[in-house]
Structure 1
Amino acid sequence: DANSIRPGDVINSYSGKTIEVIDTDAEGRLVLADAINYTIKAFNPDQIIDLATLTGSSIGTLGYSAAAMFSDNDDMKDALSDIGYEAHERVWPLPLFDDFKSDLHSDIADVRNYSGKPIAGAITAAKFLEVFAEDHPAWLHLDIAGVAYSDSSYAKMKSATGYGVRLLTEYIKSIIE
C-alpha cells in the first residue's frame, strides 16, 4: 500500500516528539508510546504499569520463566518481584542504563523506534518507551513476550496464559491495603 509506513519515514507521536521508523515490525512500541504519554497527560496517574509482548529479546534473556521488568522506581520493582513469586507470575528486573540512549539517536527525528543492533533488544525497546514516559517517577514496563503464551493440555496449540492478571491484582491490593 502506498500509504504504509516505510523504513526511514518520520512520524509524529502523541507527545509531539518525532520518531524515525527503522523497523516497521517494531510497530507495537509506537502505539504503546502514545498510550503511555496519553495516560500521563490525560490522567496524571500516581503509577503506570504497562505490559506488552514487545520483544523476542526478552525471551532470549529470560526464556519462558519470567517477564522482563524495567523501571527506575525501586519500590515498584521490589514489590512486583515479591508479589510475582507469590502469585506464580515472576518478573525479573533488567537495567535502563543510559548507555543505550545513543542507540536510539536519530539525525532526522527526536528518536528512532529500533536500535538496529543485534543486542539488548528488550532494553532498547524499554528505553524507547521511557522517552514517552517523560520522567514519570513511577513508570514500569513489563515485556511479557516469554510468558504470554504457553502449551496447554487443554488446547491444540499454544494459547494465552493470562499472565499479569494475578500479578497486577495482587499489586493493586497491596497498595490499597
Structure 2
Amino acid sequence: MRTVVLASTSPYRLQLLRQLGIPFHVAPPLYEEQIDQQVAPELLVKHLAAHKAKSLAEKYPDALILGSDQVFADPRGFIHGKPGGLPQAAAQLREMVGKTHTFYTGISIYDAASGEGLTDYDTYSVTLRKLSSEQIHAYLEREQPFDCAGSFKIEGLGISLMERMEGDDYTTLIGLPLIKTVDFLAHFGVRVLV
C-alpha cells in the first residue's frame, strides 16, 4: 500500500482521516496559508489545499500527500478563516446569527512520485439560531473553538447553535470531505474497503 501523509496540524482532520481505517502519517505543511478576499472561496480553498499537499513532496518523495483547507463566506461574500481568540470568535458568531453561511473545504491529493494531483472542494451551509450575547459567550467559554473556521465545533456543542444545515457530506463542515477523500484515494490505488 502507498504511504499516505496528511499535511495538516488540525486535530479534526486527523480524527476524520482515522475514521477511514487506513494507515497514514501526519506532518505539518510547509506552506503558510493566506486569505485573499479577491479570490472566490472555492478557488481559494483548492489553491490552499493543493499547496499544502505539494509542500511536503521533497520530504515524502514516494507518498500520496493529502492537503485540505477551509474557509467560510458570509452572505456578502466576505471570506473568513479561524478566529484565533475569544473576542474574534464572539464577533464572528454575532455576525453569523440568523444568517446562512457557506463553508468551503478544499481537498487535494498529490502523488509525489508521479507529480499527479487531484484537487476539488465541497460546500456545506449552516444557518445559526438567534442567540444572545450571553449564549454566545457561554458556548465559547465551554468549547473554545478558536481554531475552527466559523467559531464552532459541529461535532460538539456547536450543533446547539444551528437552526439548519445543508450539504452532501457533513464531514466537509468539520474540515475534510471524506466522500471525496475516499474517491481520490481510490484513484491512486488506496482502497478503504478491500
Same structural fold, with TM-score higher than 0.5 when normalized by the shorter chain: no
Structure 1 or 2: larger helix share?
1
Structure 1 or 2: larger strand share?
2
RCO (CA 8 Å, sep 6+): is it higher in 1 or 2? 1
Per the normalisation by structure 1, the TM-score is: 0.28
